[in-house]
Every structure is written in C-alpha cells, then in structure tokens.
Amino acid sequence: MTNILRLVLTLFFDAYNPILVAARALFIVGAWLLFRKSGIKSWWALIPWAREYQLGRCAAREPEGRYFCVTSMLITLMSVAIICFQWNDDNETLIAFAPLILVVLVSLLLIRFIYNIRVFSGLIRIYGVSRWWIVFCIFDELRFIPMLTWGAGGKYQPAWKVEDLKAEMERLATHGSAAVMDEGLTVNLKDRHVKEFFHKKYLLKDIHMAIPQGHMVLLLGGSGAGKTTFLNAVNGYEKADAKVTLNGNDMYSDYKKMQYEVGFVPQQELIRGKDTVKRTLLDAAKLRLSKDIPREDREKRVHEVMDIFGLLPVQDNMVEKLSGGQKKRLSISMEFISNPSLFILDEPDSGLDGVMARELFEQLRGIADTGKIVIVITHTPDRVIDLFDDVIVLAKDSSRTGRLAFYGSIDDARSFFGRQTMEEIVKSINQKEEGGDGLADEFVLKYAEVQNG
C-alpha cells in the first residue's frame, strides 16, 4: 500500500520532475496574463492556492473557485506532511495509516478535479471558445496551454472583466439616499459584507427605499439574491452598513426598543406541539409585551389576536392537532401579539393550497390597512398579486452581489421589466445557469439610471 501511495505522490507532486515543474511555471505565467485581462491584479498568480480562487472569480464561478482553492491547499499540505516521513518499509506509522491516507488523498484529488473542470468550463464560456478546450484542462501538465493561449492571444477577450463590472456598478448603482420619513420605513443600505478568503464578499449593496405606512410589499428575487439577508438587515438582526428608520426611530441605535415594533415570521414554524393555542399565545405575550402590563391586559390582547386570525374556536386545542393553515395563523399571531408597526413574513403560504393561501393573504392585507407595513416573501406571488401595493426586486449581479433592481408599484414593475407576471420578472433576472434570462445586470443598471434621473 505504501508503494501505491508513493506512486500517487510521484505522479502528482514530484518536485524533481522537470515536466511538472515547467508546466506549473508556464501555468503561473498564463494566470498572470489572464488575470490582467480579466481585471484582477496579476500578482495573485504568484500566490499558491489563491490563484485557484481568483480563477473562479474570472470564470464568474466564485463558489467553485473557493472549493478549488481549499482542496488544492489541503492536497498540498497533506502531500508535504507525507513526504516529511522517512520513506522506508520499516516506518510502521506510515505502513499502518497508508490505506487511510491513500483514500483521503485520492478523494481530495477527485474533488479538486471536479471543481477544476467547473472553473475551466466557466472560463471557456467567458472567453467564448470551443468546448473542446476542456481536454487541456483535465491534466495538470496541459493546463498551461489554454492559460497561455487565452492570456497572451489578442483575439481572446473575456466577455466581462471582474473589476470593470464592479466599477460600472459602483458608478451607476449608488444613487443617493432615500429621504427619511417620520411615518413609515426608510432603508438606506450602503452594503452588507463578510470577510471571505482574500477579499470582502458583498452580500448586498446600494439599496435605498422608503415604504409608507399601510403598504403591503412583495419581496422578489431569485435564489441567492439576498432576500433573507436584506430582511435581517432591516429588522436589525444582522446589522449592515446602513441606516434603517421606522416611524422616525433608528432600528440600530434603538434596537432594544424597536425590536418589539417588528414582527418577523420565519418559514419554519417555531411552536411547541404539546401546548394549547391559548397557552402558546399567552407565553408569547409574556415575552413580547412589557412586563408592566397587567395579566388581564395580556389575556385581553391574546383574545383580540385570536379573534383577528380566527383561532378562537380552537383556542383549547393542542397545537399538534391543528391544520396546516391554522398553524400558519398561530405562528403569525405570536408575532402580532406586540402589535408591531412592521410585519415581515418569509413564505407564510408554504405548504398551503390556493384557497387557504388566499385567505391568509387577505388577513395580511387587512393588517396593512390598519396602517402597518407588511413585507412578504412568497414563491407563488401571482395568485395573490392584487393584494399588494408595491414590489421590491433584488437581483444577483455578475459579481454575485444582491442589488436593487426595482422598487415601486406592481403596474410600474410590469412596465419596467416588460413582463406581465411576477414569475416572469424573477426569470428575467435569474442567471442563465439557473434557468433564467441572465438580465440582472441590465435591470440593476437601468433602475439606477432611472433613480439618477
């Protein structure tokens, strides 16, 4: 087994093999040239592992580049550790662990091979070359051929440049702040980012809007567009570089006070099945209402909420015995106990049929009509679209950052996107590999230009 392990290391990591050494040197040169064409600093080509990640960015496949980077790093570190052992048949430790080491090493090589193919497939698409180029990317000794050819060849130009696209988005998408309203929700979000690998990864950028009281708003966006991140930034759960005000009060600086002004209903039902409906709401009232409120007033508020959501007939029933629609209404009731000014719901109609979903949304419409702001995520918006006032459309641009592609009335959204249904709007901004039309950048820039006037 140690001989097989030694063979694998020799084939892939022999530092004295002049062919491998030359191939890697030429690959670095090709990466240097290709990075320069793609708008990334060329010196990244000199940094082991980091260059694999940057290749993923050039290929518009940053997640794949991340895995390509990590597996390359693990393989190198593991091979160095093995080589540090004394290579002889008397090494009992190496002999004992050789089967496990071999399995792990081969598994990592296979994973790296898969992400290598994905990254280079992206580069083939970005550079608009024939798919047969992928043959050169299968073997480490040949990868330098496409890298040098695309990097040095004048006729090979990328469809988009990483930094150029970023600069264009920065130029057009930053269109100033929304005026803070004394009544309503104002969001001025500069960015929400995380530190990831070798740079900041922006989850959201340049989102500005003002939502009046009494509006029911649909939040649209494809997978990864940042809908949940946006809602968490709005309610203060995950603070961003932003200023969010609700009825003139700052959500961040006055978070302890304002958290009771926001009701958030997640997609998952966080309720205990062994409690009754009334007991569940009484417990919620203890948590969400001031401790100074007398018990009689808490019970009165629970009775009011059960009446609003049609739960009085089942108030003594066990939660686990409720229907799907009743459980949804109970989850919403728990957040509505504190009479929040802003009500946020993530797919409240999940698992409900059309009739039950319609009834639920009509209740939410009634809540908005009392002067509340209601923001809803739903994957079946068209069956209840007549109940909404406005729509927020978040789109994932080519750099995988969530941006504001539109905010306004439903009719204006149809005119802006040239689509009649909300599902068609989402399809238009989804990436092509996700089954969409790949027009996110176009609409983000178009909306920014409209806002700039």
Domains plus CATH for the chain? 2-158 (no CATH), 167-247+341-452 (3.40.50.300), 272-340 (no CATH)
Average of per-residue pLDDT across 250-256: 84
Q: Does residue 128 register a pLDDT over 70?
A: yes
Per-residue CA distances from 280 to 263, 273, 287, 352 (Å) = 16, 9, 11, 22
DSSP of 53-79, one letter per residue?
A: HHHHHHTT-HHHHHHHHHHHHHHHHHH
66-88 per-position pLDDT tens digit: 888 888 888 877 776 666 654 55
Q: Does residue 435 register a pLDDT over 90?
A: no
- Structure tokens given for 120: 């280079």
Q: Which residue has the tokens 């799907």?
A: 324
Spatial distance between the Cα atoms of 41 and 211, rounded to a whole number of angstroms: 41
Spatial distance between the Cα atoms of 74 and 77, rounded to a whole number of angstroms: 5
Q: Does residue 23 register a pLDDT over 60?
A: yes
Q: Does residue 396 register a pLDDT over 60?
A: yes
Q: Does residue 8 register a pLDDT over 70?
A: no
Q: Does residue 347 register a pLDDT over 90?
A: no
Mean pLDDT is lowest, of 6-15, 21-30, 66-75, 376-385, for 6-15
234-243 per-position pLDDT tens digit: 988 888 889 9
Average of per-residue pLDDT across 37-54: 88
Mean pLDDT is lowest, of 21-35, 44-58, 194-208, 407-421, for 194-208
Average of per-residue pLDDT across 92-105: 68
Binned at pLDDT 50, 70 and 90, residue 387 comes out as very high
Spatial distance between the Cα atoms of 82 and 87, rounded to a whole number of angstroms: 9
Q: Does residue 424 register a pLDDT over 60?
A: yes
pLDDT at 382: 92
pLDDT at 186: 92
360-385 per-position pLDDT tens digit: 899 899 999 999 999 999 988 999 99
pLDDT at 11: 45
For the chain, how long is the longest CA-to-CA vector? Answer: 85
Higher pLDDT, 251 or 177: 251
Average of per-residue pLDDT across 187-200: 78
Instruction: State the average pLDDT for the chain.
Output: 83
Q: Are 111 and 67 in contact (CB under 8 A)?
A: yes
- Structure tokens given for 293: 């409120």
Q: What is the pTM of this model?
A: 0.70
pLDDT at 288: 82
pLDDT at 218: 96
pLDDT at 163: 59
Q: Does residue 5 register a pLDDT over 50?
A: no
Q: Does residue 185 register a pLDDT over 90?
A: yes
Phi-psi domain of 87 (left: phi exceeds 0; alpha: psi -120 through 50; beta: other): beta
Q: Which residue has the tokens 């990466």?
A: 31
Q: Are 332 and 277 in contact (CB under 8 A)?
A: no
